[in-house]
Structure 1
Amino acid sequence: MARKKDIEGLDDIMLFVNQFYGKVQKDDLIGEIFNNVILDWTPHLEKMYSFWNAVLFGVAGFVGNPFAKHAPLPISEEHFERWISLFYATIDENFEGEMAVNTKKRAETMALMFLSKLKAMRGGSSRVIV
Structure 2
Amino acid sequence: MDIRNYGDVTMMVNEFYRRVKVDELLGPVFMEKIPGDWEPHLQTLRKFWYTVLFGEPGYMGNPFMKHTSLPIDKDHFDRWIQLFYHTIDDLFSGERAEDAKFRAGRMSLLFQSKLKDMRENKMKPLM
Paired residue for 1:87? 84
Equivalent of 2:60, from 59, 63, 66? 63
TM alignment of 1:1-130, pairs within 5 A: 5-38=1-34, 39-123=36-120
**Aligned residue type for 2:24:** D
Distance in 2, matches of 1:109 and 1:78, equals 16
Aligned to 1:128: none
- What are the Cα deviations for residues 53-79 of structure 1, in whole angstroms up to 9, with x where unaligned? 100001111122111110100000000
- Residues in 1 aligned to 2:61 and 2:30: alpha-carbon distance in whole angstroms: 17
CA distance in 1, matches of 2:21, 2:61: 22
In the aligned structure 1, how far is the partner of 2:106 from the partner of 2:5? 21
Give the root-mean-square deviation of aligned CA atoms. Answer: 0.9
Give the % identical residues.
51
Structure 1: tracts of 5 or more residues without a match: 125-130
**For residue 16 of structure 2, what is the amino acid of its counterpart?**
F
For residues 81 and 19 of structure 2, the distance between their equivalents in structure 1, rounded to whole angstroms, comes to: 12
Structure 1 runs (4+) deviating above 4 angstroms are none
TM-score, scaled to structure 1: 0.90
The alignment's TM-score, normalised by the length of structure 2, stands at 0.92
Structure 2 unpaired stretches of 5+? 122-127
